[in-house]
Structure 1
Amino acid sequence: MLRRLRHERLDFVGTAPVRLVFAREISAPPDTVFHALAEDVPGWTEWFSAVTQAEPVEDTVLGRQIRLRGGVRFQETILAANKPEVYAYRVDATNAPGLRALVEEWRLDPAGTGTRVQWTFAADGSAPFRMVLKAARPGLGRAFRDAVTALDRRLVKR
């Protein structure tokens, strides 16, 4: 069963109790990366190994439904889709225990002929949740690096 989370705005990425920020440069240009993030929602399963299902909510471009390995589910609302610089969303409902609010921001900056991809994972939750999330930082960082590397490989093939 999904629980409703606190509805935060985009500014939460700067004020959240737990902020995990990861960045990496890839060879694909910002427009191409933005398309993969914001417009090819089902494609997330091809490059982000933790994502087992990704679908836009029917009849709207403002929402997504995401399933992760292990059974975690998210219902999300898009907060920003400013091509090609920023793609951000808020989790509105989840089955993840202890989570109270979550906003994720993907910031894309030109880097030579490629893109510097920065992912900010901004969250609030119970004290045990915050502690576990901070401890999970190395694993989330590795997941981000692997995902962005796989995304770049996928985009270069096209």
Structure 2
Amino acid sequence: MRNSDAERLLTKVYVDNFSWFQRYVLKNSGTLEDAADIFQEGVSAAWLNLREGKFSGGAEQFNAYVRQICKYKWINVLRAASGRIIRMEADIGVYEDLVDGEEVERSVQQSHVLRASFSTLGEKCRELLGRFYFKRQSLAHIAALMNNTEESIKTIKYRCMMRLRKAYLEKYNNDE
């Protein structure tokens, strides 16, 4: 690949994908700076894979490839931060053209209802669901920690999710 072709491809990758990735990161607890950093890492990784022959395909497939790499890199950042609370305090007016205000309000309301519903569960359910969904521990690991079989933990998790679902739906419908 000639340098001029490489420059054109990189320019096209940025033009076609950067605004999409910014919106994706902003919708998923990130900042514009996060989006720029992760996008740069993703493009660099994709570019190296292209140079090393690990990617074969056309320009449109390369765009999809870049998006997937960037998306997975952002998911990894979120997973690494899952132990910390992520808070963003910004003027929503800056992002008005990117998100629907009613949609954000609905999501915030749903999040509050879910938190309230989660707090109504018993300690065992909160611990099990927290370990499985937030700490991403396997059922086998949780079973060993809770001195139980994996099959029993699976059943208990199902019951806890049904309790959470019921509490959530009751609270959500009552708040409307």
> Could you tell me the TM-score, scaled by structure 1's length?
0.30
Report which of the two has the higher share of strand.
1
> Could you tell me the TM-score, scaled by structure 2's length?
0.28
* Larger RCO (CA within 8 A; separation ≥ 6): 1
Larger radius of gyration: 2
